[in-house]
Structure 1
Amino acid sequence: MKRVVIAGGGVAGISCALALQADGHSVTVLEPGPAGEGASWASCGCIAVGEIVPLSQPGLLMKVPGWLLDPEAPLSLRPASVPGLLPWLARFTANARPSRMRAIAADLARLTFAATADVRAQLADAGAPELLVERPVIKLFDGERDKATMGAAFGLARELGCTIDEISGREAQEMEPAIAAGFKYAAVLRDWSFVADPKRLVETLLQVFAQRGGTVLPLACAGFERDGARVTAVRAADGRRLAADEVVIAAGSQSRGLARQLGIRLQLEGLMGYSTGLQDAGVELKHTVFYPAGGFGITPYERELAVAGTVEFAGLAAAPDWRRADVLVNRARRVLPGLQAGTRRRRMGRRPFTPDTRPIIGRTSKLANVSFATGHGQLGLTLAATTGRLVADAIAGRRPDQDIGAFSPDRF
């Protein structure tokens, strides 16, 4: 049995904690924020199997200059953040080359194709299988030009094994009568599913972990103690020292700063995403519905309808621009004309993105006992259970069922 300390108790951190606990280790999780209110809380809650084509795809990059001039666009950049972001943006743009896009997509496919089975097994073990809603999602397109933007991405995803059915807008409306008339095209992503409530999911996993003897401390990780190439202890924000045989950094957008303390350089930025939960929305949905031209999706959670999306580049200390959440709700009426938005709960989450869209999973060669579970971008909820399993395998010395070299923290 090893003493494992995990920095970060979001969906990735708690998934690692449960997998390591199942291996018989004594696990402590440091999480300063409210349970379940991290990046996954401000998301569409999807298990996005096949969301494998990087964000740097050329069709989207061509739209970026216009978007950056529009503070209400699906992607925006605060001027004050530009100097610090330039190196990351340069590497991000370099990954738009077809050869790099294909390699990234193939690597992500290996992970996402395992996601549904891993989430299903995790929730069954936690006694909450109902949290996984196994229904496909729908993407809507206004017309030919709109659809063509996603054409290359759909083609590559299909080539790598995804099931995507292209249908008419009218057929989409037959699947979901609340959808507006006027959409010419739609796509049904058969491999996807969604969760009934991301916050309840994380809360449930934390509760199970604690019931099985795990420790969760409501504190941030403040630093580390080292002996040569090993970390011997983690320092919590209140000054206490936690002896550690193994350390896992799963702190989302804060992971880069923690890694820097250990002499490890990660290319990681925390990009803001927004969500609004609508109670008494006045419409019913059975599927998650995405409107790519508007940069958002709408998911029917068990207690509310969630409208989530957009990407905003801003510093870690920047306050949320709640106008972006409100804009999403207003634009959602293009998809759901009957939408009512009286009672709103707005959220913001910082999604940890790498410039190559690949997450950061596994051990670093620079320290003997440090592993990473971060950098998932928009795939944190999708890949959390899979990441937990892979990190546990690495710490146990087991041969993983797939090559994770492409996700190494040392690639930077």
Structure 2
Amino acid sequence: MAKVAIVGGGIVGISCALALQAEGHQVTVLEPNTVGEGASWASCGCIAVGEVVPLSQPGMMMKVPGWLLDSEAPLSLRPSSALKLLPWFARFTANARPSKMRAIAADLARLTFSATADFKAQLGDIGHPEMLVERPIIKLFDDDTDKATMGAAFDLARELGCTIDEISGHEAHELDPAIAPDFKHAALLRDWSFVTDPKRLVEALHQTFLTRGGIVKRAGAAGFDREGRQVRSVKLTDGAELSVDQVVLAAGARSKGLARDLGVPIRLEGVAGYSTALSDPGVELKHTIFYPKGGFGVTPYDGALAVAGTIEFASLDAEPNWNRADVLVRRAHRVLPGLKTEAAERRIGYRPFTPDTRPIIGRSDRLDNVHFATGHGQLGLTLAATTARLVADDMAGRRRHIDIQAFSPDRFS
């Protein structure tokens, strides 16, 4: 039995904690913030199987320059962060080549195609299978031009094994009558599903972990004590020190600084996503709806509709730009004309994005007992259970069910 520290108690960290606890390890989770209010809290809550085409796809790259100058665009950049992000954006742009995109998509497909089975196994283990709604999501398009922006991405996703049915906007309205009837095109992504509430999910995972004897410390990691290739202890933000045999770095957007302290330079930036939970929406929705042109999705959680999206590059310590959440809610009336927005709770979460859209999973050649589980971008909820399985297999010395070489933390060196 090893003493394992999980740095980060979000959806990925707590999933790793449960998987390693099941192996018989003594596991301590370090989480300084409110449980369940991380990146997944401000998301659409989807298990996005087949969301494999990287952000650097050509259609998006052509729009980025204009978007960056528009504070209400689906992707924006705070001017104060521009200089710091230049190296990240240089690598991001380099991944827009078709050969790079195809390789990234194939790597992500290997992970996401395991996601539903791994996630269902996790929910079954904690006794909450009802938290997953296995229902396709709907993407909506105003006209032919709007639909064409997703054409190459859909073609590549289908080539890799995704099931996408193209339907008319009227058929989408018939599936979910709250949807405006005047969209010309729509698509059903049949491999996807969504959760009933991401915050309650993370809370349930934590409660199961605690019930089984796990420890959660309300502190973060402030540094590490090393002896050669081994981390011997984690220094905590409350001044304490935790001796360890193994470490899992799952600190999301704050993983970059901690990795630097460990001598492993990773390329990762925290990207703000915004969400608004509408507890009295005035409409009923059965499916998660995405409106790519507006840069948002709408998910029917238990007790609320969540309008979530946007990508904003900003310092992790910057004040939230709540106008970005408000813009999404205003745009949501295009999709749901009967939407009521008076009872609203705004949320923000920072997603850890790598320039190649691949997560960071596995060990660095520089360290023997540190396992990386970060950089999942918009796929943290999707890949949490799969990442946990990979980390547990690696720590046990078992053969992994997925080749993770493409996700190595050393690929940025």
TM-score by length of 2: 0.99
Other structure's SS at 1:56 match? coil
In the alignment, structure 1 residue 224 sits paired with structure 2 residue 224 = yes
Give the letter aligned to residue 50 of structure 1.
G
Alpha-carbon deviation of 1:288?
0.1
Other structure's SS at 1:17 match? helix
Give the letter aligned to residue 173 of structure 2.
Q
Residue matched to 2:13: 13
Q: Which consecutive segments of 4 or more residues in structure 1 shift more than 4 A?
A: none
Give the letter aligned to residue 58 of structure 1.
P
Give the letter aligned to residue 393 of structure 2.
D
Alpha-carbon deviation of 1:83?
0.3
* Aligned mates of 1:345, 1:335 — CA distance in 2: 20
Give CA-to-partner distance per residue, 1:63-113, whole Å, 9 cap, x none.
Answer: 112212211111111111000000100100110100000000000000000
Other structure's SS at 1:123 match? helix
Give CA-to-partner distance per residue, 1:134-161, whole Å, 9 cap, x none.
Answer: 1000000001111111000000000000
Superposed, 1:32-111 pairs within 5 Å as: 32-111=32-111
Give the letter aligned to residue 30 of structure 1.
L
Alpha-carbon deviation of 1:235?
1.1
Residue matched to 2:334: 334
Residue matched to 1:114: 114
Number of aligned residue pairs:
412
* Aligned mates of 2:290, 2:214 — CA distance in 1: 38
Alpha-carbon deviation of 1:241?
1.3
* Aligned mates of 2:359, 2:182 — CA distance in 1: 38
Other structure's SS at 2:179 match? coil
Alpha-carbon deviation of 1:317?
1.5
Unaligned runs of 5+ in 1: none
Residue matched to 2:269: 269
Give CA-to-partner distance per residue, 1:224-243, whole Å, 9 cap, x none.
Answer: 11111100011111111111
Alpha-carbon deviation of 1:321?
0.0
* Aligned mates of 1:168, 1:66 — CA distance in 2: 30
Residue matched to 1:345: 345
Fraction of identical pairs, as percent: 72
* Aligned mates of 1:318, 1:127 — CA distance in 2: 38
Residue matched to 1:205: 205
* Aligned mates of 2:238, 2:349 — CA distance in 1: 25
Give CA-to-partner distance per residue, 1:26-70, whole Å, 9 cap, x none.
Answer: 000000010100000000000000000000000011111221221
Residue matched to 2:164: 164
Give the letter aligned to residue 5 of structure 1.
A
Unaligned runs of 5+ in 2: none
Residue matched to 1:152: 152
Alpha-carbon deviation of 1:318?
1.0
Give the letter aligned to residue 93 of structure 1.
T
Alpha-carbon deviation of 1:328?
0.3
Alpha-carbon deviation of 1:327?
0.5
CA RMSD of aligned residues (A): 0.5
* Aligned mates of 2:54, 2:369 — CA distance in 1: 30
Residue matched to 1:324: 324
TM-score by length of 1: 0.99
* Aligned mates of 1:115, 1:331 — CA distance in 2: 31
